[in-house]
Amino acid sequence: MRLFQLLFRASPATLLLVLCLQLGANKAQDNTRKIIIHNFDIPKSVRPNDEVTAVLAVQTELKECMVVKTYLISSIPLQGAFNYKYTACLCDDNPKTFYWDFYTNRTVQIAAVVDVIQELGICPDDAAVIPIKNNRFYTTEILKVE
């Protein structure tokens, strides 16, 4: 009989323990590192033939470094440094910022693209990783010409 009483007394404590463990496990699953965090900044509107500077800030939360290639794509052809592609080694303690200067006289949609690539000689000791699922990240903005 005493054994049954012990079981009934331990039951609320056991339930509380299971609840705490479940809450802790759910919180741990949400703690995933982001492969690429990017912030693309261009003016919302400009005058025709004004110089436009596009800025792309890129960082990672991964412990390992990776080789990234960044570039811009537009809905209409643009001239100038817009066509430059940058390749860099991205590590969690070393975020990168890329700049493009160009001119346009028409409203254009622009996408900033970050590709994680495999290329030797960019990261120290060639110790770079490539994500299994996602290796392309992008964001789009509209630049209005008024």
Same domain, 4 and 73: no
Same domain, 25 and 64: no
Among candidate residues 104, 114, 98, the one with its CA nearest the CA of residue 142: 104
- Which of 11-15, 29-33, 46-50, 52-56 is modeled with the greatest confidence? 52-56
pLDDT tens digits along 96-145: 999 999 999 999 999 999 999 998 889 887 777 887 788 999 999 999 99
Query: pTM for this structure?
Result: 0.75
Same domain, 89 and 140: yes
Q: Are 101 and 130 in contact (CB under 8 A)?
A: no
What is the dihedral angle through the alpha carbons of 122, 123, 125, 129, rounded to the nearest 10 degrees?
-120
- Give residue 33's pLDDT band: very low, low, confident or very high (50, 70, 90): confident
Can you tell me whether residue 112 is helix, strand or coil?
Answer: strand
Same domain, 73 and 27: no
Tokens found for residue 40: 């693309």
pLDDT tens digits along 41-95: 999 999 998 899 999 999 999 988 999 999 999 999 887 788 899 999 999 899 9
Q: What is the CATH number of the domain that holds 79?
A: 2.60.40.10
- How many domains, the chain? 2
In this structure, the number of other CB atoms found within 10 A of the CB of residue 56 comes to: 22
Domain range for 66: 37-145
